[in-house]
Amino acid sequence: MTETMLGHTARAAFKELPLGAVKPAGWLLRQLKLQADGLTGHLEDLWPDVGPDSAWLGGGGEDWERGPYYLDGLVPLAHVLGDPVLIAKAQKWIEAILGSQRPEGFFGPASNNDWWPRMCALKALTQHFDATGDARVPPFMTAYFLHQLAHLPGRPLSEWGEARGQENVLTVLWLHQRTGEPFLLELADLIRGQTLDWADYLRNRLIQTPADTFDHHTHVVNVAMSLKGPALTYLLTGEAGQEQVFRESLANLDRLHGMVNGMFSGDEWLAGTGPQHGVELCAVVELMYSLETQVRVFGDGADADRLELVAFNALAATLSADMRSHQYHQQVNQVLCTVDQRDWTMSSDDANIFGLEPHFGCCTANLHQGWPKLTRAAWMATPQGLAAVSYLPCEVEATVAGTAVRLKVETEYPFEETVRIGVQLSGPAHFALDLRIPGWCREASLSVNGEALGCTPNARGFARVERRWQDGDRIELTLPMPVRALPRPGDALGLALGPLVLALSPGELWTRLPTPEGFGDWEIRNRRSWNYALDFGGQDPASACRVERFTVPERPFSLGASRPDAGVEGVALRVHTPARRLPDWLLEHNSAAPPPPGPVASLQPTHRVQLVPYGCARLRIAEFPVQKTEG
Encode pLDDT of 118-160 as tens digits. 999 999 999 999 999 999 999 999 999 999 999 999 999 999 9
- Output phi, psi for 213, to 5 deg: -140, 160
Alpha-carbon gap, residue 403 to 386, rounded angstroms: 13
List, as one string, the DSSP characters of 111-170: T---HHHHHHHHHHHHHHHHHH--TTHHHHHHHHHHHHHHHTTTS---HHHHHTHHHHHH
Structural element, H or E, at residue 523: strand 522-525
> In 3D, which of 577, 582, 579 has the Cα closest to residue 610?
577
Distance between start and end Cα atoms, the chain: 63
List, as one string, the DSSP characters of 283-319: HHHHHHHHHHHHHHHH--HHHHHHHHHIIIIIIHHTB
Q: Quote the pLDDT of residue 566.
A: 41
With a cut of 70, list the residues of the chain below it in pLDDT. Answer: 1-8, 560-569, 631
**pTM, whole model, 2 decimals?**
0.97
Alpha-carbon gap, residue 557 to 542, rounded angstroms: 24
- What residues does each domain of the chain span? 380-478
Assigned CATH for 380-478: 2.60.40.1180
Contact 463, 456 (CB under 8 A): yes
Alpha-carbon gap, residue 508 to 3, rounded angstroms: 61
> In 3D, which of 31, 138, 39, 75 has the Cα closest to residue 365?
39
Q: If DSSP codes are grouped into helix, strand and coil, which group holds residue 327?
A: coil
3-state SS record for 24-80: ECHHHHHHHHHHHHCHHHHHHHHCHHHCCCCHHHCCCCCCCCHHHHHHHHHHHHHHH
Q: Quote the pLDDT of residue 565.
A: 40
Structural element, H or E, at residue 84: helix 84-98
Q: Cis before residue 428, ω within 30 degrees of 0?
A: no
The string of pLDDT tens digits covering residues 366-400 is: 999 999 999 999 999 999 999 999 999 999 999 99
Calculate ∠ Cα 297-298-300, nearest 5°.
Answer: 130
Instruction: Please list, in sequence order, all residues whose beta carbon lies within 8 angstroms of the beta carbon of residue 112, skipping any fewer than 6 positions away.
Output: 55, 63, 64
Contact 355, 517 (CB under 8 A): yes
Please classify residue 276 by burial: count the beta carbons closer than 10 Å to its beta carbon, then call 0-12 exposed, 13-18 middle and 19+ buried.
buried
Ramachandran assignment for 58, one of left (phi > 0), alpha (psi -120 to 50 degrees), beta (any other): left
- Partner residues linked to 523 by β-bridges: 511
Give the largest CA-CA distance in the chain. 80
Alpha-carbon gap, residue 86 to 366, rounded angstroms: 16
Q: Quote the pLDDT of residue 2.
A: 34
